[in-house]
Amino acid sequence: MTDAGRTELRSRYGQRAVLNLESLVQYCEVIARITAEAENARGLADTSVQWAAEMGLIRIGETVNRLPAELLRAYPAQPWRVIVAMRNMAAHQYDDLDPERLWRTLTRDVPSLCKYVEDILAGCA
């Protein structure tokens, strides 16, 4: 993102929003590394891998929850409420998480979120 673009985002939504968007990208990148190591949903059978992935989803959901509502309305191409709901499930109903669904979220939805947030930060969304 250019300095002018960053300034625009900061002036609209505040420095905290920009920092949270940057954090989202970082969390998505960590999840990408976790999924690359796990290779497939069976890799989530390793408790440490599953817990790490779930913690990544919790961090993503917490960070989305901190974004200003006006920013979320301005960028509606992601299911922001669903992201927060997934965080709640990972945090409170972790025994109910289906490994196949979790794998789809990690390998399809998280990369899509990452790209979208990168586009927001670049002024392209």
Give the tens place of pLDDT for each residue, 59-83: 999 999 999 999 999 999 999 999 9
DSSP string, 65-85: HHS-HHHHHH-TTS-HHHHHH
The confidence band for 49, taking pLDDT boundaries of 50, 70 and 90, is confident
Query: Phi and psi of 2, rounded to 5°?
Result: -70, 165
Would you state the pLDDT for residue 3?
A: 63
Tell me what the mean pLDDT of segment 31-42 comes to: 82
Please, are residues 106 and 77 in contact by the beta-carbon 8 Å criterion? no
Would you state the pLDDT for residue 5?
A: 65
Would you state the pLDDT for residue 1?
A: 44
* Residue 3, both tokens: 């300095």
Distance CA 83, CA 106 (A): 12
Mean pLDDT lowest among 39-43, 48-52, 79-83, 91-95: 39-43
* Residue 33, both tokens: 């590394």
pLDDT greater than 90 at residue 98: no
Distance CA 125, CA 117 (A): 8
Greatest Cα-to-Cα distance within the chain, rounded to the nearest angstrom: 46
